[in-house]
Each structure stands twice: as structure tokens, then as C-alpha cells.
Amino acid sequence: MDEMTVFEQAFEDRVRTFALAGVRPVDPAAVAHAVAVGQPGRQGQGSWVRWRGGSLDRRVWTMAAVLGLLVATLGGALLVAARLALVDESSTATNGWIAFTVGQPAPDGTVEDFDIWLVAFDREARRVVGSETDRVQQLCPAFSPDGRSLAYGRVEGHGTEYFMSEDGGEGSRPASYRRAALVLADVSDDGRVSERLTVDVGDGLPPPCPVWSPDGETVAFGENRTSPINPTTSAAGSEVWIVTLADRDITVLPDLLATDLEWAPDGSQLAIASGEQEGVGRGMLRDGGIRLYDPASGVMRPLDGTSGAVNLTWSPDGRRIAWAGLIGAGDSSLSLRVIDLENGEQQVLVPDYGAIHGIGPVWSPDGETIAYQRCRGNPCGGERHQVVLVTPGNPSDEGMIPEQIVIPDQTAPGSGGLLFPYRVTWSPDGESLLYMAWEIGGVDPLLVAVPADLQAPPVVVTQLEGIDAIDGYPDTTLVPIQTWARAPSD
């Protein structure tokens, strides 16, 4: 093998090494330089003479190969940079609109009519979807990653209703769903919402609670054909739908009663918390676990070591999943863990805590902290929850105890009553926690932004009559994690 062939082989090997590593951007010129200076006889003017001395065909082939490899390598670098941007985007994100659901009595005075409202720090709350007399429920609003689109569920009829009978016993009215649909709408900078696309789901099914893919091209949601709040239910007949918006292509994953679902930060996989049988109430299934679905290949596999999982959140770098799973005999005793997706190693963050409502743990945009909510006592003595920030740290540090910070009690303006969260999510910039909270002795929940650094006072975003605390029926998959949009100008 002559020296020119050695150069070619060395260059190809070096580029292949970088490409397979795929963990950081690559400077193609630096690769070529490193190969050149690392070859014997390639120093100074002599190396240029040897290059000129090769045959024309060899030089043309080599230059073409080099250019091709440079283009491939640069493309890989851009891909890696795009992945890194997913992690670092919180550093430049600014907060936009917040979507939430408001209910008011329906015309017949018996069933609430749910509409969607928008609010922002500098703008008053206003209804943008629905009316007081349309007899249609609009629920589970979720913003696209760029803040320019809103997805939500729509249905006629009502969900399962529970009430106290005149003799003091508990009663219920079965759900009566008609014409359930997924709705996609455009959102202007000034908050005007215009419907763009409707995907029919069918009769007898609850309204979908959609979750966007990171590229904004796909949404996923669970369709529970049996009520997950029925302790004897199974997942049989329930489904997870994946809708590609450009062509309305629908992929249906059968026999999954999804209690939570979330896309990987790069959009390559959909994580689904689901079970197959033995419901234990509150939308949980005792045999639940996490399944990872790859839309490109159509392959779904269980994630080992996640038995009992009911809620999950994906780390912004895509390497770990934090998940809450049932422990013990009750339906409100949970543990919080983090699993490394590369080696399967797990870290127990919180071994035992209670929670009655909420949407599970939510990872901060910068990947440093996980927020979760728990009962003030364990076991739960009521629905008075508090919010806790836990820092996972490096699981390889043996003996490391995850740091936990309990957010101090928040008080309602005017009355000074304590506020307790129904659900908690992060602001796009990662600087605030959005509470949908209720006040002791109060009736209507509030939207409250609580600074994560605890140095600034909380801000009441809005206080309206009839705010829906969970943005959905008990029959739906309650995962409204994208209710606070990034400003569209980002």
C-alpha cells in the first residue's frame, strides 16, 4: 500500500470514528489536518509534492471522497448541534400564552360546558375556543413547541359524573360521549385562535388530551375505551393514537390504557406508561409499566425495571426517564425513580410518598431539577399537596443522596389562605412553576406562577370562576404538560 492510499484509509478511519461517536460537533478541516500531520512524510512542502505526484484519477477520486466525507461529517455535526439545541433552548426561551380550561353551567343547568381560555403575564384572560351556549366540551389544550399552534380535545356529551344522592350515598352517571375529535388550531401573536384541522375520533370515546412531538409534526394521545377509574377495568380495547398532521396518517397502538405518555426530546421514541389489567383507581393500573415505541420501525418494547409505572418525564438530553410507580397496597403510595436508558441503571430519588392528584413528575427545561407534588402527610390524609424540587445529580456517585427542596406554602391574594396545587408544570424559560391551585375554604382554582429560585414573590396569573383544575375528565389521559407556550418569536 503506497503513502497516498494510507492517507485515504487513515482519513476514512478518522471520520468514521467521529461519525460513530456522534456526541459532539466535528470540525472536518481539523480531521483532515490531524490525519495529514499524523502520517509519515506528510510534513511541510514534501507532502504537497507527493500529493501533486499522484495520478489525476486518484486525485479526483480522493478529493471527491474527501468532499463527500466532509459533507457527511458536517451533516452529522449539524444533527448533533440540533440535538444539543434541544437541551439548551431553555436558556433563550421566553414565556408566551398559557392555555387553560374554564367550565360554566350548560344551558340545561346540569352539565358543565368547558371552553378554552388564554392568558399571559401582560395580557388579560379571555375565551378563545367555545361559547357559553355551544353545548360542546373543549378540553386538554396543549401548545406546539414553537408556540404557534394549539391542539385540544373536543366532545359532545359529558364524562362520568359522580354525586351524592339524597340518602347520602354515592351515585354516578355514565359517560355519554359523542363526536369526539382532535382539533388543531393556529394561534396568532395577539392570541387569536383559528381552527385548522379536525381529526374525528368517534362516538363513545372521551376527548383526546394531545402531546406534541418536538418537531411539531405529530401528536399522540390515549383513547380509553374503558374507564380507568373503574377498579375492575382492563386496558382491553383502549388505544394510543399517533397522528401525523401533514397527511392525517393515524397509527393506532391497541390494548394500551395510557396513564401518561411523552415524546423523547429528539422525537425518535414515544414513552407510554400503561398497563393491561387490574385497575386500582385514579386512572392507575397496578401492572403498569413503561413501553417505548419507535414510529420509524413500528417496534414497541417494554422498558425493563419499570413495573408499576403510572407517570413519567423524559430528561431534556434524552438519556434518562424519571418515573413514578405504585408501591404497597394503596392507590396513592408512590416511589420516584430515574432510569438510565443506555445501561438500565436506576436511582431512587424518593422511596415512598403519597399523591392523590397531579400529573406526575416534570423535568425542568435545563435538565437540572425534577418537580413533583406530594401529600403533606404519608399516607395522604387529604388533598393538601406541596411541591418538591429534587436534583437527581450523577447516579454514578455512590452514596449520594438526592437534594430535595420543598417549595414554601403559597397564600392567596387578599384572603391569605393557603394554596394547594392540583397540578404543576414548568414555564418555558424554566424560571417559574405554574400552579393550578385551590384555596382552603375557596371554591375556584387559580393559576399562580411561583419562582423556582424562591427569591421573588408568586404571581397570580388569573383567577376566574370555574377553572377546570385537571383539564379533562377522569376518563382521559391527563397529560397537559404543554399548557404554557414559548413566545412565537423565539
Which H, E and C letters describe 13-62, residue by residue? HHHHHHHHHCCCCCCHHHHHHHHHHCCCCCCHHHHHHHHHHCCHHHHHHH
Across the range 142-151, mean pLDDT stands at: 95
Assigned C-alpha cell, 359: 400529573
Residue 291 burial by CB count (10 A; 0-12/13-18/19+): exposed, middle or buried? buried
Pairwise pLDDT comparison (4 vs 48), residue with the higher score: 4
| Domain total of the chain | 1
Short-list 95, 3, 65, CA closest to 425: 95
Percent above pLDDT 90 for the chain: 42
> Does the pLDDT of residue 392 top 80, yes or no?
yes
172 forms bridges with which residues in the sheet? Answer: 162
Task: Report yes or no on 191 lying in a domain.
Answer: no
d(CA 311, CA 247): 30
CA distances from 198 to 131, 138, 154, 253 (A): 18, 13, 10, 20
Q: How far is residue 339's CA from residue 395's CA, in Å, rounded to a whole number?
A: 10
Average pLDDT (286-298) is 88
The pLDDT value recorded for residue 29 is: 40
* pLDDT mean over 171-180: 82
Residue range 45-64: mean pLDDT, rounded: 34
Q: Is residue 275 part of a domain?
A: no
Tell whether 9 is covered by a domain.
yes
pLDDT at 233: 56
Phi, psi of 346 (to 5 degrees): -120, 150
Residue 288 CA to residue 326 CA, distance in Å, equals 9
Q: How far apart are CA 458 and CA 448, in angstroms?
A: 7
Mapping DSSP to helix (H, G, I), strand (E, B) and coil, where does residue 53 land?
A: helix
Specify the range with the lowest mean pLDDT, choosing from 82-96, 155-169, 250-264, 346-360: 82-96
Mean pLDDT of 438-467: 85
Over residues 40-57, mean pLDDT: 32
Distances (CA, A) of 219 to 240, 261, 360: 11, 11, 20
In which element (H, E) is residue 351 found?
Answer: strand 346-354
- In this structure, of 3-12, 86-95, 140-149, 231-240, the range with the lowest mean pLDDT score is 3-12
Task: Give domain status of residue 45, yes or no.
Answer: yes
Q: Cell 344522592 belongs to which residue?
A: 165
Q: What is the mean pLDDT of the chain?
A: 77
Least confident of 109-123, 242-256, 415-429: 109-123
Please compute the mean of the pLDDT values over residues 315-338 and round it to a whole number: 86
pLDDT given for residue 133 in this prediction? 79
Confidence of residue 262 (pLDDT cuts 50, 70, 90): very high
pLDDT at 10: 43
Greater confidence, 418 or 263?
263
**Residue 393 domain-assigned?**
no
What pLDDT shows up at residue 382? 79
Q: Give the count of beta carbons closer than 10 Å to the beta carbon of residue 431.
A: 18
Residue 102 has pLDDT above 60, yes or no: yes
Q: Taking 90 as the threshold, does the pLDDT of residue 212 lie above it?
A: yes
Q: What confidence tier does 103 reach under pLDDT thresholds 50, 70, 90?
A: confident
More confident: 147 or 34: 147
Rounded to whole angstroms, how far apart are CA atoms 163 and 129?
A: 28
Query: If you average pLDDT over residues 102-131, what whole number do you get?
Result: 84
Q: Using one digit for the tens of pLDDT, what is the confidence trace for 368-387? A: 999 999 998 877 877 889 99
Question: pLDDT tens digits for 243-252?
Answer: 999 999 999 9
Task: Specify if 59 maps to a domain.
Answer: yes
- % of the chain residues with pLDDT over 70: 69
Determine phi and psi for 50, rounding to 5 degrees.
-60, -40
Cell for 320?
434518562
Determine the pLDDT at residue 36.
38
For the ranges 363-372, 389-398, 438-447, the maximum mean pLDDT occurs at 363-372
pLDDT score of 232? 54
Across 150-154, 202-206, 277-281, least confident range? 277-281
pLDDT of residue 234: 63
Task: Return the minimum-mean-pLDDT range out of 11-20, 42-51, 399-408, 422-431.
Answer: 42-51
Helix, strand and coil content of the chain, in percent to the nearest 5, comes to 15, 40, 45
| 49 occurs within a structural domain | yes
Does 46 fall in a domain?
Answer: yes
Residues 6+ apart with CB under 8 A from 377: 354
Q: Is the pLDDT of residue 338 over 50?
A: yes
Better pLDDT: 63 or 341: 341
List, in order, residues 6 or more apart from 31 with CB less than 8 Å away: 11, 14, 15, 18, 73
Answer for the pair 337, 322: CB distance below 8 angstroms, yes or no: yes
Grade residue 129 by pLDDT with cuts at 50, 70 and 90.
Answer: very high
Predicted confidence band of residue 276 (pLDDT cuts 50, 70, 90)? low
pLDDT tens-digit series, residues 405-414: 999 988 877 7
Closest CA to 285 of 294, 295, 275: 275
Q: Which pTM does this prediction carry?
A: 0.77
Give 82 or 269, the one with higher predicted confidence.
Answer: 269
Containing domain of residue 83, as a range?
Answer: 3-88
Q: At residue 57, does pLDDT exceed 50?
A: no
Which range among 138-147, 165-174, 274-283, 309-318 shows the weakest confidence by mean pLDDT?
Answer: 274-283
Over residues 290-313, the mean pLDDT reads: 94
Mean pLDDT, to the nearest integer, of 454-466?
A: 86
Out of 43-47, 58-62, 307-311, 398-402, pick the least confident. 43-47
